[in-house]
Structure 1
């Protein structure tokens, strides 16, 4: 009888711990506000269903070459699905390519828009560790294949303004340009130093256009864009000067984020100083315009304390096995009691 009580207590204790563990995962997730409506971006959270995915995005170096995927509790997300993001770092993360130090990496998406609308809106979540530079550049064009003209650089980060492993988000920023385009190219860029393993992660990308145009900021004269030759990449006019956007912190469960996946040492967050940085001048240049609405601090999102409706399949399998074990033991105890 004593052995029967001990065995039964052990089984129920293990079951209870597993159930509590599945609920604890929800507390650790970083839940953020959903993105605004009318988002032109396909797959803004880099996921398909509840799995990480780069569907809708193009790695300029080739499919599964440099950009990879991340899915972990500290990645921000709008719901109970475990947070996902695009990742530029050493190793393949949860699928994709692998980053290399000292290499320029571009991930972009082309969207169609109403050319009669010239008021642009943008928002993004990002995290950087060791970074030479991380930028978001928006180009406009009259064809989905280019040529492209840079119209806005809403995000420009270097090591001085790196988040040091803490997830950060911009406010909803806007820019009125001289005239709208039929197509826009949203380009995410990153480059981290040689000898390092962490770069940048992006998620929660929002881009839209509307008719709430404000004062137009005229662009300074720059070199005209060229038509792309056959079988060659479309040219883009890279801005000569870009302005760093002041970050607003998105809380995360841990102080550092990228080292957990990449195996490198963690770093304390650096001061989010705002600095305008000079970039090498290329043959075709166009100055970037400063966001009309700078980012500002936002209150920390509340941690969701309600149970998740999406329990990990691993927990479901373990719980099922334990329940089956309890049933089998119960039948055995019943037969033993009748003897």
Structure 2
């Protein structure tokens, strides 16, 4: 059976199939379910918190646009075991994964207030993960992880600009015709920026694309584990900074270009200074943050590839992120 997210998780047969699978995988791991599951349903996934006799576990079922996450988790846990939870089980074809509980997220640990020391260490750990994975990107692409490498992005942007349904041209919450025309006119310059970013030569690797403090576990030993990889792609690593620095900026009520954000950017870039001078890395970061707005629009389009009527709540995300290409963040 392959993933059929369009049936929706209100479908009783689909829920029974998932319960049978997770009960069987837990039994193989020497665990049993001890109570009712707690469910969270989004257009792109179903998540169950499952109580067991050895503590809670988490079941996630991805819909078609993010189905690659399950197989990706298994590979990342193998390549960077210090930075991911090892899955109890995965069914890559169906997009199902079963994970142990990771404890407190970084957001929960710091009470929603950005802790810059934590972030400095977390970003260094995340960079180490990306470097460890860089030699295996062809295997990730074979799993179905989207290819958002700089040399691919101009064609992907052109394709996205042809998707009037997703961009909702002229509709409430969609792109205005003026913004759409500006984006069309921006294509050659965008291709030039992507070309320059590729020329710098920082190897493509896994790029989380939604790395904020709610998607990081802080371990008791002081380490960090990263989760929720449904938006991930094979891309320029520095594209991560788009969401990460923006989330920190908003949470700490700082302005773009604040020295604190520069400090965190530099902490993240530090692991690459063995091969590139800092000025080149900063140039690459600025380019990557700009071109990654297209990656974010594409990830939202994949996430909303479902008949679930709840998708309408998030429909503005695709045109919203694409319009950000015209007003790049300062990093």
Structure 1 and Structure 2 fold alike (TM over 0.5) = no
Q: Which has the higher strand share?
A: 1
Larger of the two Rg values belongs to structure: 1
- TM-score w.r.t. length of structure 2: 0.30
- TM-score w.r.t. length of structure 1: 0.29
Q: Which has the higher helix share?
A: 2
